[in-house]
Amino acid sequence: MDADITLRVDGEARRLTVDTRTSLLDALRERLGNTSPKKGCDHGQCGACTILLDGQRALSCLALAVAHDGAEITTADGLARDGELHPVQRAFLERDAFQCGYCTPGQVCSAVGVIEEFAQGWPSHVTEDLTADPEMTHDEVAERMSGNLCRCAAYVNITPAVQDAAAQR
């Protein structure tokens, strides 16, 4: 069963027809040709499909496109504006925070979300005192980035890259 929807993707309104079964991820990749978000598991178990959905990091594989008609979506490609990389992307390059690159757009989107969540004072599983402003320690960043698997295992570079980018904010 088909439905017509509009998505705002990386700043541009896109009208499209989707099957009610189509995930946001497949809508982006197979209908709109935006392959920046990746399919690693299709079940919310790896984080490769992470996008910013209405400003928050979310898994596009577990979102039905039809349920997000009108949504504002930012992919890693859209984070780079006017040919300028986002500070998170620059930090990933500098720290070599990736190898094969397949989980990377999801890591980048997730990192942007994490930095914002810190700014909002959100605690994490490793925050000792929930009521204190969380500090961007290694353990805090690592916990918050744990929803993005990296099989090449660039974790020891990803965490400082996120810290570097946050410091530039």
Q: What tokens appear for 133 in the block?
A: 């402003």
As a whole number of angstroms, the distance between CA 169 and CA 163 comes to 10
Q: What tokens appear for 52 in the block?
A: 């910013």
Q: Pick the binder of another protein from 8, 14, 32, 77 (CB under 8 A).
A: 77
Site for another protein in 105-164 (CB under 8 A): 105, 108, 110, 113-114, 117, 120-127, 130-131, 138-139, 142-159
Give me the residue label for tokens 């990389």: 85
Q: What tokens appear for 92 in the block?
A: 């990933």
Site for another protein in 27-56 (CB under 8 A): 29-30, 33, 35-48, 50, 53, 56
**At closest approach, how far in Å is the CB of 167 from another protein?**
18
Which of 139, 142, 77 has its CA nearest to residue 108? 77
**At closest approach, how far in Å is the CB of 108 from another protein?**
6
Question: In terms of CB distance, is 114 or 166 closer to another protein?
Answer: 114
**At closest approach, how far in Å is the CB of 51 from another protein?**
9
Three-class secondary structure of residue 9 per DSSP: strand
